[in-house]
Structure 1
Amino acid sequence: MNRILYRLGRSTAAHPWRTISAWIAAVVVAFVAAGALGGTFHDDYNVDGARAQTGIEQLRAHVPGGGGATAQAVVHDESGAALDAADLTALTERIARIDHVSYVSVPRISEDGDTALVEWEYDVPSTDEDLVGADGYDPMEAAIEPLRDAGLQAELGGELPSQTESTMKGTGELAGVIAALVILVIAFGSVVAAGLPVAVALLGLAVGSAGVTLLAGITDVSTIAPTIATMVGLGVGIDYALLLVNRHVEFLGQGLHKHEAAGRALATAGRSVVYASVTVLISLMGLNLGGLPVYATFGYATAIAVVSVLAAALTLVPALCGLAGNKLKPRKVRKNKTTRIEKTPLTARWASRVVKRPVAFGLAALLFLLALAAPVLGMRTWPQDGSSAGEATSQRQAYDLIDAEFGAGANGPFTVVVETSVADPAAAAETVADVRGIVRVTEPVTTPDGELAVFTAEPAYGPADEQIPGLVADVRAAVPDGVEVTGQTPFFSDIVDLLDARLWVVVTFVVGVSVILLAMMFRSVVVPIKAAVMNLLSITAAYGVLVLVFQNGWGGSLLGVDHAVPVSSWLPILMFAILFGLSMDYEVFLLSRIREFWLKTGDSTASVERGLAATGRVISSAAAIMVVVFLGFSTEADTVVKQLGFGMAVAIVLDATVVRMVLVPATMTLLGKWNWWVPAWLDRVLPTIEAEKHDTESDRVWDEFDSTESVEAGSR
């Protein structure tokens, strides 16, 4: 690989316009193909293994149009006057005329008469292309608009509105990119060097986005998958390009020609980028073990984005570096006509301080991370519902109106399905009504074929209340055979249980494979295990901060969250898979340089100090870029995206500062030569993968390459 990357770097730097033209052509072809063959994004919420799925399938089999999407409209007169029955009748008629609506309820009137609740069902699931986005939301808006024109408050809530109202604005992401440019200018002291990583990442991401659209043409791709792919792709794309540009500038500072510098940068830092991306891809593939179809699409879509930005980094960076030449050097260096670029003294001084007092620094970092991780012990997860939406959204206002006028449980009723040949519907309804925590039960309604009877049970608590899982279990324990408890709230409870169980499967796979890969790269048992433990520690600390901010409400208002909400149940697995891979990126970058110095000098302490000094600035800059990109996503209205962006930003901050700049060098200093210990039998059976060649080996390869080139040129 060393020879291949070296040749690729020199070739693309020597012929930059070929590479740039090829990428422009690739972008055009990718977008044309995506337009012709790509599909639309939609979610698949069917979950094999969830008990509530059984009831849904029964309804689909025996009720014409049953088991489809549901929605609610809440009408309220703010003056307190009783609502006009004619207005409500007209509303139900307009709703009934909406495409795919199969059932509309009789308006439920509050005790004081100033509020009405209308519920309806569709004959297709909420993931149907006819209901996705504006196609599903606009007809509902049109149905309630006449009531708003008449001076009444009319809001939309329930399943379908909650999935279609929150849209990505993109302003936060744009601000993140601008902030990343500012950070790069500060880091490099050159506008050209700063703009290059961003341009490369955006071009690679463009091809990746087209690839995700093509993926949607052959399989289901979640509506949120492109957002996650963009978030991760943009972050790692800038990071990879940054690492390569930084190494290229180092070689320029040593007086090398720009073509030679490009080749050597790709042969050294390029190797680290390749293997770092492999660790990210391994983590993403672990999402397939998450137990939900939507996780698989997250993994595939994000993997496409990562591969695209990796390809862009390995080809476009040396090409653009070849064009830029000495303009990549800081302006003050170019003006002074100096050929050597000094390392940032701050990172060198910090590295020296840490290795001199490893026990104090290591212990302080460990205690700090453990303190942040402690709130995880009380973490409660739950999928997003109307209560977690922003105050300004219609779904949140509908939720609050229903809560105030009809009780908290009206926002998340249970649907009870009875097989009439097995159980008596009336007796089942009476049994459910007697369960503590159930406040209202409707009369059972028999399906047209007489096979099923269906009734609704309303809990005393809101759908996100911590007592809901226990209540679902109590109702299921009370009913006889032939009765299933389903509906959105019991379905959410089943998902939480499923994801809690699958988290450990994902963790075991991702950690296990990553440890093996690091063992092959660094010929060590201690380094991979230590890296895995520290990554787990920083991720757990990020979970703890999420609990403090969102679940406990500490500063949540700064992120646009007006009250405490549970951590989204989608997050633990998703954050772990993404963050473990990203954390390994920084681990590979740092350990590659430490091992490079170790192989050259054999001095373990000096190697740690020099490795940290050499990579501290670039890792800090890369992390800062990822943080601002992720924080940009935390400004979105969707609570899941908000929590994901904020949680990942916190994790990267902790990983790049507390872990990478303190805990890793402190522990490596204490362990000394034991860092690189590996049993002889394991060393024999493990394939050898070097993240970066140290100087002596690299120079030999480059000398051999130059000799080969000379012979070939002479023969021609």
Structure 2
Amino acid sequence: MAALARFCFRHRFVVLLLWVCALLGTAVAAQAAGSRWANDFELPGTESAEAVDLLRASFPQTSGDTDSVVWRAPEGDSVRDPQIRARMTEALAGIAGVPQVGRVVGPYAAEGGGQISEDGRIAYAQVTFTEQAMNLEKENVEEVVDTAQAAAGDVDGLQVELGGEAIQAVQGAPGGLAEVTGIVAAAVILSIAFGSLFAMLLPIVCAVFGIGTGLMTVTLLSHTTDFAEATTLLGSLIGLGVSIDYALFIVTRHRTGLHRGMPVEDSAVRALDTAGRAVLFAGGTVCVALLGMIALGISFLNGVAIAASLTVLLGVAASVTLLPALLGILQTRVLSRRQRRSLAEHGPEHAPEPGDPAAGEAAGRAARWALLVQRRPRLLASLAVVVIAIVSLPLLSLRLGTTDQGNHQESKTTRKAYDLLADGFGPGFNGPLQLVAETPGKADTPALSRLITRVSRTEGVAEVGTPAPAPGGRITVVQVVPDSAPQDEATDQLIDRLRDDVIPAAQEGTSLDVHVGGVTAINKDFASVITGKLPLFVGIIVALGFVLLLVAFRSLVVPLTAAVMNLLAAAAAFGALVAIFQWGWGSDLFGLGREVPITAFLPVIMLAMLFGLSMDYQVFLVSRMHEEWVHHGDNARAVRVGLAESSRVINAAALIMICVFSAFVLSGDLEGVMAGIGLAGAVALDAFVIRTMLVPALMHLIGPANWWLPTWLDRHLPHLAVEPRDTPGGPEAEPRREELAKTAGGPE
């Protein structure tokens, strides 16, 4: 690290130029190539996926994306009025002539007779494209939108809206305001913390370069790899947090070196060789945790894992290459004018005794808190556990699902179309189920007819459509409309009822084979698969964290404690999400509308993020404790000093991340809002309750056993140097560590 830091410091303008070229080059290339997002939730081996495969093989003419044009007549009028009918017929004819539009079925044709609501005020047309949404030209979809909405201007009071995947895609990816707000909030906190404009700008600039290059690269990769549209939002969410935090740790260490009178280059190199090593360790851990999603075997999450890891990786790269170059450009201007003047007049500061309450106002507060934790460990540990338990309690009601266009902002045409269809045709119309039946035998057709009759009488079914046989007659599709909304638990129960009871009874004694498909069934299967694989993923990341901390700190108790703390932070995060979104507590405050289940893929993504962030805090906290333990062999002193000297930077970093994550409430995307609120709450609890209260209190109660490691295991573990060799906690301290391990056996 020292050699890399010195090279970047001395060749600072070359390094800066390379980063500028990388950012501008990827931005220009991404702008020219555009993006091709793939919002595909299908899972091979599930019943809904089998239904999709049969439909694609049997109905190739309707294999493209199907969207809706929905209109409502003015109060007191009907969509059958001649003026409205003539204008919408003309508009639908215009849409049919748009390139990549394969078929338009309107309510005024014979085959669209059921597409007008009972009160006659709402009607819809189905627009089937020749390609899936990800393969459509944006200009063609925009022409469909413009043609449809132009009809509303010709008839007073006529409302025309559009819904569907293709329409959603041209509305644009959400998030820009959230990222800007998060950066502004971080800038304010950094200004207060550093008191220097240039010092404040350093973490922001590194984050912009790292995240910008990462997101532009992901946009380019979307042409070769399936990335969901939410990937950029999630990538910027985690990228902003870790990039700013990593640069903050390094800049803080560099400023401390300058205050102590070190030459600028030596201080920068020293900062990178100490804090930079921890940044590499923490960033690598985050990437490995994110890439752990690939082990789940879900293609949708593979893209998210790759994109988020790439963003974090480039954020780390900016921190360890671009940052020392910028430190070389700014020289001592990372200190405020007052600090530079004080340094010139009074000379360098002397390092205070670790944990000394008199070492400055802020340091004094941290030291007094560390002393309080040492004196009252049982009380504070109990208080922390109670807080975590209360926040985590709603987790027992967790229900996974997916969001849909009914969760879009009320101003978007997709949300308006969704609400119009629900008003005119019932809440389940936006998420119909499809019975895809294979009828290879002669007796199967009567059996299918009996099944349709039984389904129509099943609890939770509002309407059953007319069977639609495919050419050849061996595949038949029947549409089933639930009487509940797609996200309601009652709809999930209906799918289970059909699959477990109604359909098996009809298939008995025949060769009839019926699959329940449709978007709602796909979403339910996706949530079920995630739920089933979640324990595996939790086990993977917990085991990974345990091994990494075991190797880094040569202790069994420290990694075990960290694993439990990570799980507590995750439980609290999801407990808060359940209360806000699933129970609806405070959802109106965020403008989120009705209660919704927790998006199925968020637990995996958030667990990976929280694991990485928690590891960051654990490493920065325990590494200082470990250094003090190896140097003095006094557990009480080690915990007190480590907490006193680490808590300030941990709290500042956490406050920045809380602001960054909270800003995603403004993203306009429900997944972004969920992730932002969940991560902000988890970071607050992790930093202010778990790492600075519960962990040190437990370490005081456990005593020297915190640092115990069996001799036989110590001999077989590889040596991972988080600190450079010339620091008290470095590899040369192994003899002292082995000596202390023999006596670390019980509580203080």
- Looking at structure 2, the residues matched to 142 and 594 of structure 1 have their Cα atoms a distance apart, in angstroms, of 67
- Looking at structure 2, the residues matched to 351 and 75 of structure 1 have their Cα atoms a distance apart, in angstroms, of 65
The answer to whether structure 1 residue 414 and structure 2 residue 433 are counterparts is yes
The answer to whether structure 1 residue 399 and structure 2 residue 399 are counterparts is no
Q: Provide, for residues 437-492 of structure 1, a one-character-per-residue CA deviation record: whole Å limited to 9, x for no partner.
A: 11211111222232322221111111111111110121223222421211111111
Structure 1 residues 406 and 40, CA gap change in structure 2 (3 angstroms):
closer
Q: Which moved more, 1:501-510 or 1:558-567?
A: 558-567
The counterpart of 1:283, out of the listed 269, 284, 289, is 289
The counterpart of 1:663, out of the listed 694, 704, 726, is 694
SS in 2 for 1:484: strand
Q: Provide, for residues 529-558 of structure 1, a one-character-per-residue CA deviation record: whole Å limited to 9, x for no partner.
A: 111111111111011111111122222223
1:387 aligned partner:
406
Question: 1:161 Cα shift?
Answer: 3.5
Question: 1:576 Cα shift?
Answer: 0.9
2:366 aligned partner:
347
- Aligned partner of 2:119: which letter? D
- Looking at structure 2, the residues matched to 396 and 700 of structure 1 have their Cα atoms a distance apart, in angstroms, of 60
2:121 aligned partner:
114
Q: Provide, for residues 15-47 of structure 1, a one-character-per-residue CA deviation record: whole Å limited to 9, x for no partner.
A: 433332333344355456656888633333332
- Aligned partner of 2:132: which letter? P
**Alignment map for 1:626-665 (pairs within 5 Å):** 626-665=657-696
Question: 1:315 Cα shift?
Answer: 1.6
Q: Which moved more, 1:378-387 or 1:276-285?
A: 378-387
The answer to whether structure 1 residue 86 and structure 2 residue 92 are counterparts is no
Does the 8 Å CA contact 2:41/2:526 hold for their aligned counterparts? no
Question: 1:399 Cα shift?
Answer: 2.4
Does the 8 Å CA contact 1:373/1:541 hold for their aligned counterparts? yes
The answer to whether structure 1 residue 123 and structure 2 residue 130 are counterparts is yes
SS in 1 for 2:62: coil
The answer to whether structure 1 residue 434 and structure 2 residue 457 are counterparts is yes
The counterpart of 1:329, out of the listed 335, 338, 343, is 335
2:354 aligned partner:
none
- Aligned partner of 1:469: which letter? D
- Aligned partner of 1:485: which letter? V
SS in 1 for 2:123: strand
Q: Which moved more, 1:651-660 or 1:689-698?
A: 689-698
- Looking at structure 1, the residues matched to 15 and 309 of structure 2 have their Cα atoms a distance apart, in angstroms, of 23
Does the 8 Å CA contact 2:41/2:523 hold for their aligned counterparts? no
1:41 aligned partner:
37
**Alignment map for 1:484-499 (pairs within 5 Å):** 484-499=515-530
TM-score, normalization: structure 1?
0.92
The counterpart of 1:452, out of the listed 475, 490, 511, is 475
Does the 8 Å CA contact 2:495/2:521 hold for their aligned counterparts? yes
Q: Which moved more, 1:371-380 or 1:342-351?
A: 342-351
The answer to whether structure 1 residue 583 and structure 2 residue 606 are counterparts is no
Does the 8 Å CA contact 1:351/1:612 hold for their aligned counterparts? yes
Q: Which moved more, 1:15-24 or 1:384-393?
A: 15-24
Q: Which moved more, 1:678-687 or 1:473-482?
A: 473-482
- Aligned partner of 1:191: which letter? L
- Looking at structure 1, the residues matched to 644 and 329 of structure 2 have their Cα atoms a distance apart, in angstroms, of 29
Q: Which moved more, 1:138-147 or 1:350-359?
A: 138-147
Q: Provide, for residues 324-346 of structure 1, a one-character-per-residue CA deviation record: whole Å limited to 9, x for no partner.
A: 33322344332333422855222
Does the 8 Å CA contact 1:176/1:632 hold for their aligned counterparts? yes
1:711 aligned partner:
none
Does the 8 Å CA contact 2:282/2:615 hold for their aligned counterparts? yes
The answer to whether structure 1 residue 517 and structure 2 residue 514 are counterparts is no
Structure 2 unaligned segments of length 5 or more: list them: 108-114, 351-358, 733-748
- Aligned partner of 1:241: which letter? A
SS in 2 for 1:467: helix
Structure 1 residues 580 and 681, CA gap change in structure 2 (3 angstroms):
same
Question: 1:244 Cα shift?
Answer: 0.6
- Aligned partner of 1:340: which letter? E
Q: Provide, for residues 671-711 of structure 1, a one-character-per-residue CA deviation record: whole Å limited to 9, x for no partner.
A: 1211111122221221111222486558999xxxxxxxxxx
Question: 1:506 Cα shift?
Answer: 1.3
Aligned residue pairs, count: 695
- Aligned partner of 1:429: which letter? I
- Aligned partner of 1:371: which letter? I
Q: Provide, for residues 338-383 of structure 1, a one-character-per-residue CA deviation record: whole Å limited to 9, x for no partner.
A: 4228552222222221122111111111110111011011122221
Does the 8 Å CA contact 1:289/1:502 hold for their aligned counterparts? no
Structure 1 residues 290 and 558, CA gap change in structure 2 (3 angstroms):
farther
- Aligned partner of 1:75: which letter? W
The answer to whether structure 1 residue 136 and structure 2 residue 167 are counterparts is no
The counterpart of 1:146, out of the listed 147, 151, 172, is 151
Does the 8 Å CA contact 1:272/1:692 hold for their aligned counterparts? yes
2:624 aligned partner:
593
Question: 1:118 Cα shift?
Answer: 2.5
The answer to whether structure 1 residue 58 and structure 2 residue 54 are counterparts is yes
Across the aligned residues of Structure 1 and Structure 2, the Cα RMSD in angstroms comes to 2.4
Does the 8 Å CA contact 2:37/2:134 hold for their aligned counterparts? no
Q: Provide, for residues 219-252 of structure 1, a one-character-per-residue CA deviation record: whole Å limited to 9, x for no partner.
A: 2222221222222122111111110111111122
- Looking at structure 2, the residues matched to 147 and 217 of structure 1 have their Cα atoms a distance apart, in angstroms, of 36
2:69 aligned partner:
73
- Looking at structure 1, the residues matched to 555 and 34 of structure 2 have their Cα atoms a distance apart, in angstroms, of 45
1:469 aligned partner:
492
SS in 1 for 2:45: coil
Structure 1 residues 412 and 23, CA gap change in structure 2 (3 angstroms):
closer
Structure 1 residues 382 and 99, CA gap change in structure 2 (3 angstroms):
farther
- Aligned partner of 1:140: which letter? V
Does the 8 Å CA contact 2:228/2:300 hold for their aligned counterparts? yes
Does the 8 Å CA contact 2:87/2:151 hold for their aligned counterparts? no
Does the 8 Å CA contact 1:33/1:214 hold for their aligned counterparts? yes
Q: Which moved more, 1:565-574 or 1:24-33?
A: 24-33
TM-score, normalization: structure 2?
0.88
1:686 aligned partner:
717
Structure 1 residues 15 and 404, CA gap change in structure 2 (3 angstroms):
closer
- Aligned partner of 1:294: which letter? F
The counterpart of 1:618, out of the listed 649, 654, 679, is 649
- Looking at structure 2, the residues matched to 438 and 37 of structure 1 have their Cα atoms a distance apart, in angstroms, of 46
- Aligned partner of 2:78: which letter? A
- Looking at structure 1, the residues matched to 377 and 517 of structure 2 have their Cα atoms a distance apart, in angstroms, of 56
SS in 2 for 1:559: coil
1:18 aligned partner:
14
- Looking at structure 2, the residues matched to 675 and 183 of structure 1 have their Cα atoms a distance apart, in angstroms, of 34
- Looking at structure 1, the residues matched to 24 and 424 of structure 2 have their Cα atoms a distance apart, in angstroms, of 55
- Looking at structure 2, the residues matched to 160 and 208 of structure 1 have their Cα atoms a distance apart, in angstroms, of 26
Question: 1:426 Cα shift?
Answer: 2.7
Structure 1 residues 25 and 72, CA gap change in structure 2 (3 angstroms):
closer
- Looking at structure 2, the residues matched to 296 and 669 of structure 1 have their Cα atoms a distance apart, in angstroms, of 41
- Name the % identity: 36
- Looking at structure 1, the residues matched to 47 and 145 of structure 2 have their Cα atoms a distance apart, in angstroms, of 31
- Aligned partner of 2:520: which letter? T
Does the 8 Å CA contact 1:56/1:67 hold for their aligned counterparts? no
The counterpart of 1:218, out of the listed 224, 229, 249, is 224
- Looking at structure 1, the residues matched to 283 and 271 of structure 2 have their Cα atoms a distance apart, in angstroms, of 17
Does the 8 Å CA contact 2:69/2:148 hold for their aligned counterparts? no
**Alignment map for 1:104-253 (pairs within 5 Å):** 104-107=104-107, 108-130=115-137, 135-151=140-156, 152-162=158-168, 164-165=170-171, 167-253=173-259
1:296 aligned partner:
302
SS in 1 for 2:126: strand
Does the 8 Å CA contact 1:200/1:309 hold for their aligned counterparts? yes
